[in-house]
Amino acid sequence: SIADFCREHNIAIKRFYYHRSQYIKRSKPSAFIRAKPQNAKPAIDTSAYFTLQCGSGQLSLPADVSPAWLASLMKALT
């Protein structure tokens, strides 16, 4: 802890905090600037989807969709 450090080095805690605040004031701000993408769209891997077509309608689903869920959907649509 800070108190232990100050005790070991014979430093007054108030002096420690004073010098720490001075150091923080003098420190340079980080050169890192967070980039914000404009109008970014997530990439969609179309090979990971399949499309069901019936008449004029179509439905694209992820390739890893649960077979049980797909069976429920098909039953509900018929």
Going by the DSSP 8-state scheme, the letter that residue 56 receives in this structure is: T
Rounded to whole angstroms, how far apart are CA atoms 69 and 62?
A: 12
Calculate the alpha carbon distances from 53 to 14, 24, 36, 46, 72 in Å. 74, 63, 38, 16, 17
Averages of pLDDT over runs of 10 residues in the chain (78 residues) are 92 93 81 78 74 85 90 86
Cβ neighbours of residue 64 under 8 Å, at least 6 residues apart? Answer: 48
Read off the tokens for 64.
Answer: 């890893």
Q: Whole-model pTM above 0.85? A: no
Q: What was the pLDDT predicted at 36?
A: 81
Provide the pLDDT for residue 46.
Answer: 65
